[in-house]
Chain A
Amino acid sequence: MAYIRAFGSYLPARRVDNHELAPLVGATPEWVLSVSGIEERRYAAEDDTVASLGLAAAQDCLANAGIEAGQLGMLLVSSGSAARFAPGPASQIAAALGLTSTPALDIPVASAGSLIALALANDLAPRFGPVLVIGAEIMSRRIERAPEGRDTAILFGDGAGAALVDPNSGFARIADSLLATDGTAAEILKIERDRIFMDGRSVILQAYRKMPRAVTDLLARNALTPADVGVFLLHQANLNLIERVAAGLKVPLDRFFVNIARYGNTSSASLLIAAAEWHGSLAAPLAAPIVFSAFGAGLHWGALLALPA
């Protein structure tokens, strides 16, 4: 068992709104907004890397937690868009933080990668010490800004988020998690030869079924219902999907923290970017359960429950 102690995030400065993007993909800004809920997304600078974005989010998280990198017991870095497969960004981020013997592991999973890392961190923190979880993505280099790439180009943006999972203290105690994988549908969402491919209709069908079920199953085994949850922090994939999940759980949408309009879908970074913004906006101490949930390429999906500490 461990605690969530702090979050951090980093968003590149360049904003790409629908007026800039839509003509490139043969669409209108209004259509992009209606099918995604996205108004703008951020794109990394040319000299940015997944590791440099992840490092910035890591530093923000460490500052928010008030600890030095040297106190970390482990780094877990999720990314589905890193330029290099091996070694991935984890060791680069660790090195940039001045760590030369702290284990730093990659979780090369888009979308749900940071949820998986959070769940693993809960089990690893008691053994290794504080675990810094990072989700970092440069999805703008995995899309095609052309009519043939329209369905993915309109969705994705770049950014990084981080969370510190501490074995001893934090504002929320990770109580339970549920992770699942179904590789029989792996072909409907994949990054291959530097490009993302998505059968969006099938992805929505699968996500709409699997995410609410993971959440309700996780809550039920902890004697909770969706109505007991104070905030739902979901992978920011598509506003319409989040609305459907809310409806499926019979929970008002205002219980879901949503920032997709400003950043688009930043794949595995989105969960932690949303969490960082939500936590930064808290006006009072946490008083009700938090549910994290994500779904994506793999297919990997799941949910994580954290309770007020």
Chain B
Amino acid sequence: MTLKIDRQAYYWPALFGFAILFFANFVANPIFVSHDNWRPVLLGAAPFIITTWAQTVPIMSGNGDLDLSVGPLAGLVNAIAAVTLPSLGLTDPFSMITIALGIGVASGLLNGFLVTIVRVQPIIATLGTFLTYQGLTLEVLPTAGGSAPPWMRVISGESFGVPGIVWVFVIIAVLWWLLGKTAYRRNLLAVGGDIRAAYTAGVNVTAVRIVAFVIAGVLASVTGLVFTATLGSADPTVGAPYILTSIAGVALGGVAFSGGRGGLLGAAAGGALLFLIENLFSLAQVSIYYIQIAYGSILLAALALNSITDRIRRRKAAAALV
């Protein structure tokens, strides 16, 4: 379960694509890599990357699991953090972070419960929560407004020459790495790989899938806090676009939609890729509508690539069984 250099690893195409687009951005605008530009670039990329991470975990648990509510949940947390909590006088970091993450856990439990216990199709169950969160967000905050407490500059600002958002990435990566040291990652890959094999071997498949949704919820909430810090306020429309990009990012990241293969490295590259494309489009001053077309096409291309590599892998596995 350790990180080894493996040429066959799922994340290489994503890293390769990332490298190419990074270079393209640099060519289009050499300032892109300048030190002053790091902070805004990373803050812009953060919602892409963190929502993709959130999406990755349920998708890795297979069985059609995915979470359409990650974007809207991030938007809801953004509204609550910038409007509701300040109105209640809760602006200290501890309360805000605890409440935000608590909302994420609750949302994950709800989605997981609907999917594994009530057995609603994941795409329908999370479509339901997605619409609910959208409605709640507009209830809390009909138009853009609210304000971020000053401590959030830790995230949006810079300390010791390092953008604060980097620490958010590092904390998530370290926690994921630690999770990989526990039994959870193996259980997750097993449930995603073949739920019957996992179940008969004695894995608590329901718990594994619910926890996957909880991780998605928590990461979506983190995105909500990042929105708050970046915008300095809240915007009810900020979350929804990240539903599509989180799924596209997962596909670009080489994570198998059938489950059982993937990780945060590929997903990060996949999410970052989408940001780089958007950035490239805005540098070229292309209309925002074309970005939608590009995302849609990229999603389809990534899914096609995903299924082709899946087929090649399966053929190789079959050849080994001769």
Say whether A associates with B. Answer: no
Q: Give the A-binding residues of B (Cβ under 8 A).
A: none
